[in-house]
Structure 1
Amino acid sequence: MSADSDSYMEKQLFSIPVKRSRDEVLNSALDKIKLFSSLEAQQMKALFKEERHKHPRRYCARS
């Protein structure tokens, strides 16, 4: 890469308007992660319930 293309890339990089702060971006990412993990947990619970319904003896408490 030549010096011209480097400065062009820098201009492109720094000309992007910053709409959200770094904290806002991180918080929204965390919210998405929490949402997906809670959805995944709900799916796992539903799956377990379904499996437990299919095979009640397998999941019964041992006394």
Structure 2
Amino acid sequence: MMRKILVAVLIVSMVASHFENVASDASDCNDACTTGCVQSNTRLMRRCEIKCGIRCGPDSEVEDHTG
């Protein structure tokens, strides 16, 4: 009984690993980046947000690992 459950879980995990992931876009990058910018110093927070805009902007060269 335990082997059947183990085999079933293995098969389900193999099938699930082949599903295609949704590609992230610039808004996801910007949201993830600016989440790390939260600080009490507003000048530093604004500077971080500007860097995120540059990093996640349309001209950025973010590597696509979706294969």
TM-score range for the pair, normalised by the shorter chain length: 0.3 to 0.5
Higher relative contact order (CA 8 A, sep 6+): 2
- Rg comparison, structure with higher value: 1
